[in-house]
Chain A
């Protein structure tokens, strides 16, 4: 995946660029908002990692303009700014995700992977979590090399959980995503689908976080 890194701090940009490259991302680095906007307009990136504190244009304005012209381009916001307000504003303006500095690099990798999977630009179309492998081109799921028979609804549900492995998906989020896939689910039916899916997967693969939602573990 081609990542545009917009960061004015050279030392940080260099480090992030190095780390992302070693993870197999193609990184293009710019230090100003203007350069970022022109690079985005030329269309040579799949995702943007945007620092909000830029020397020329406010990062939030860059985000707003990007959203306006390229509503589907994923933007991950990096910010040294304080407070929830900025984050909420950033997300309202359409950032897909945000990280507050100082951040752990593995966290940045993980979030970019989520974006990559969603874009379908991953070098591999396979999502592997433990001994479960989902092939998003063949629409197939294998456990320990054995193919599972899943209904379309179960497949979408599992893909959703695998894409955000290690994080919680709430009932509302799952219902909204299924709806977007044209798979409307009555809210009391979600438990039934999860329970059916569980029977076909390794024990405790899908965890219920009581009172919050569902999750699959990364490890």
Chain B
């Protein structure tokens, strides 16, 4: 477990220590060079002052040894020695340190008298100041120069320290809407741990809730199917017995019961399928499939029902149309379209399917010779639980009003389009267009 704070603090302290040490080292070297020079100059001056009494007795002789400094040596009121640029007047009247003006400069002087010997040494104040400036600057330069280096290193290190945070941000932004898998960081810093585990817990709860919602409908449908089957089977048996016993059913009680059971079965089935194909929690497993073959299978599956109604069905178009789709959902879509066509087309009517590839799209048209739908109802029939003419649907066919809503959901899942229109056969024509590739 890493900590951004500990990381940054440790590294910044290390960094500052390192650069300060380097800077101190450098200023030590520079200042000590300056100090050496100072001492060397003093040594030179010392040498000059020691040499002075042995020089020729010309007080005007110039010495090259101590050009920078001024030296006067008085003996009993007489100037016995003075350095080159030094005036011949007494420079300082009292022993000790003092500041004097001569030779156009301001000097720091030191005078010492022993018996009748008086020595006065002076140094230009300007030189002293320049020297102390140099010493100070020498100690500041490395520190100033190390600042950009420190800044650069801090910038890099803070960037590194914040890397987990940036990674987390990147993962969050790139997450797809339906991706509820936990976020993962290679190394989780202490500060991000609550954020990460909080987010992951939330994602897990969300995933769980989605799964539960999805499962709930399936569970309900599943649990209802068996009791419905019991109802259906026993109703059939009762009907048989009734007939065998030669009982009349003038009020058509048995058919009414049968109708109720059939409607309930259809409704439960459709609610469940609607839930399954809801784009919010249906993750389509797209795979390459032959849509024409899928349509053929649906015709085969529904044929007994079509045949019972003595309807003619034909499938036209291309032998195979390959596209990326979810086999289960697309089959359900075609089952609903063909089932509707058969249901709402009178007996001995005609149903025609045509599946073709047109450019980058697959087009399926399902037409029938039924009564069709009025154009003003076109937009409403895709609404859930909407039935043309309400419950008193003129076909007398039981229905849930969910079939086309499911069809629409599945078309949307495949980025397809649906259009209703009038068929040359006289009834409804439903045109579905699906992109071949995603």
> Cβ of A199 < 8 Å from any Cβ of B?
no
Q: Is B316 an interface residue (CB 8 A)?
A: yes
Verify if A140 is at the interface (C-beta below 8 Å from B): no
* Chain A positions within 8 Å of B236 at CB level: 15, 19, 104-105
**CB atoms of B228 and A212 under 8 A apart:** no
Which chain B residues lie closer than 8 Å to A15 at the CB level?
A: 230, 233-234, 236-237
> Could you list which residues of chain A lie within 8 angstroms of chain B, going by C-beta atoms?
9, 11-12, 15-16, 18-19, 22, 53, 80-85, 100-105, 107, 166-168, 170, 209-213, 215, 217-218
The segment from B86-94, B295-303, B380-388, B405-413 found at the interface with A is: B295-303
Among B218, B233, B261, B303, point to the contact of A19 (Cβ < 8 A).
Answer: B233
17 additional A-B residue pairs with CB within 8 Å, beyond A15-B234, A105-B236? A9-B226, A12-B233, A19-B233, A22-B240, A101-B228, A102-B232, A102-B261, A107-B304, A166-B303, A170-B300, A209-B299, A209-B315, A210-B316, A211-B315, A211-B316, A212-B296, A212-B303
- A18: chain B residues at CB < 8 Å are 237
Determine how close the nearest CB of chain B comes to the CB of A187; give it in whole angstroms: 12
- How many Å from the CB of A99 to the closest CB on chain B? 9
Contact A211 B304 (CB under 8 A): no
Is A168's CB under 8 angstroms from B230's CB?
A: no
With A15-B237, A211-B296 as contacts: A166 and B229 at CB distance below 8 Å: no
List chain A residues, Cβ under 8 A from B316: 210-211
B19 CB to nearest A CB, Å: 66
Question: Within 8 Å CB of B225, what residues of A?
Answer: 80, 100-102
**Residues in A whose Cβ lies below 8 Å from that of B317:** 211
Residue from the list A85, A103, A170 in contact with B229, Cβ < 8 A: A103
CB B260 to nearest CB in A, in angstroms, measures: 12
Asked if A80 and B222 sit within 8 Å, CB to CB, the answer is yes
| Interface contact B237-A19, CB-CB below 8 Å | yes
Whether A102 lies near B229 (C-beta < 8 A) is yes
Residues of chain B within 8 A (CB-CB) of A218 are: 307
Are B296 and A84 closer than 8 Å at their CB atoms? Answer: no
Interface flag for B102 (CB, 8 Å): no
In B67-97, which residues have CB < 8 Å from any A CB?
none
Among candidates B240, B276, B299, residue contacting A82 with C-beta atoms closer than 8 Å: B276
